[in-house]
Amino acid sequence: MLMLKHQWFEELRGIITQGILRIDEPLNKYTMTKLGGTADVLVIPGTIEEMEATVRYAYEKDIPLLLLGNGSNMVVRDGGVRGIVLHLSKLNMIRVDGVKVHAEAGALIIDASKQAAAASLTGLEFACGIPGSIGGAMAMNAGAYGGEIKDIIVQCTVLTKSGERLVLSKDELELGYRKSIIASEGYYVISADFELAEGDKEEIDAKVADLTYQRESKQPLEYPSAGSVFKRPPGYFAGKLIQDCGLQGKGHGGAEVSMKHAGFIVNKNEATASDYIATINMVKSEVKKRFDVDLELEVKIVGEE
């Protein structure tokens, strides 16, 4: 693997001319949890063409490829990631045209929400506090405060694992609660097109301000975290189950269940990914033991032990 990653790095230098290419790059710099070991090779493409070429290169060479996104809904293990990690932070263009919003995969959905509000467009206010990228939001049908991606999406352009470009309609995306065909098929999002509605700017701004206050007052934004760790179990709220188990403030190493919101696990004191994952497993075990409810992860755990 040592020799291979140097070979990949050298070959990718001919592909990545406008982006960034790094070897043995620490991934804790790119994750919201501030956790994770190194990537063998990190690619930050400067253009969509470089993204496509990287995906095709990995497919043709049979190299593992991980799309990191904004690192907001992912826990990278301490052993890091073998193969290529694709980070789309440079593909962040957002364009507003009438009531349509076009956004590239690496753009933050918060920024798309802000631009929509500035253009007096309503429908994307729910995303004003979601800390992920457009690509990640599409993959998990992100939602909050009564709104979700499927309410506003028109179409999404993706790459298959082999690098074929597809344009998927709303129905073809198969969007459900925290799921999509993007996630199930392992597609790579290039961009998304949303359709909003004209609204009153004062009302939009007031709604954004209210949702921002709700988020800041209830979520532990002062510590690194992966956001809401567990999906909502049918008939329950994950945070309430965890709270009722008396788990707030408990954890492993530098990771603990947030005192502010039991659905969050925070990196409170230089936690390792192993600390974070051990805390996740503790929570799942205790909730199963007390309530016989199986908590399902909303976050994705990747990488080597």
In the chain, which residues have pLDDT < 70? 1-2
The full set of domain ranges for the chain reads 2-86, 94-203, 220-302
The pLDDT, as a whole number, for residue 297 is: 95
pTM listed for this prediction: 0.91
DSSP 237: -
Element (H, E) at 80: none
pLDDT digits (tens, 9 = 90+) for 85-113: 999 999 999 999 999 999 999 999 999 99
pLDDT digits (tens, 9 = 90+) for 291-300: 999 999 999 9
CA distances (Å), origin 136, targets 72, 89, 186, 295: 9, 12, 12, 21
Q: How far apart are CA 238 and CA 21, in angstroms?
A: 39
Which of these CATH numbers, 3.90.78.10, 3.40.50.2300, 3.40.718.10, 3.30.70.20, describes 220-302?
A: 3.90.78.10
Decide: residue 194, CB within 10 A, 0-12 exposed, 13-18 middle, 19+ buried: buried
Which of these CATH numbers, 3.30.465.10, 3.40.50.300, 3.20.20.370, 3.30.1120.10, describes 94-203?
A: 3.30.465.10
Q: How far apart are CA 188 and CA 54, in angstroms?
A: 11
The pLDDT, as a whole number, for residue 196 is: 97
Q: Are domains 2-86 and 94-203 of this chain identical in fold?
A: no
Backbone angles phi, psi at 275, to 5 degrees: -60, -45
End-to-end CA distance of the chain: 16
Q: How far apart are CA 37 and CA 73, in angstroms?
A: 16
Q: How far apart are CA 87 and CA 246, in angstroms?
A: 38
Q: What positions carry a catalytic annotation?
A: 178, 228, 298
Which of these CATH numbers, 3.40.50.300, 1.10.1060.10, 3.30.43.10, 3.20.20.70, describes 2-86?
A: 3.30.43.10
The pLDDT, as a whole number, for residue 2 is: 60
The pLDDT, as a whole number, for residue 154 is: 98
- The vertex-86 CA angle with 171 and 268, nearest 5°, equals 95
The pLDDT, as a whole number, for residue 119 is: 97
The pLDDT, as a whole number, for residue 130 is: 87
The pLDDT, as a whole number, for residue 1 is: 59
| Ramachandran area for residue 270 (φ above 0: left; ψ -120 to 50: alpha; else beta) | left
The pLDDT, as a whole number, for residue 165 is: 97
The pLDDT, as a whole number, for residue 76 is: 96
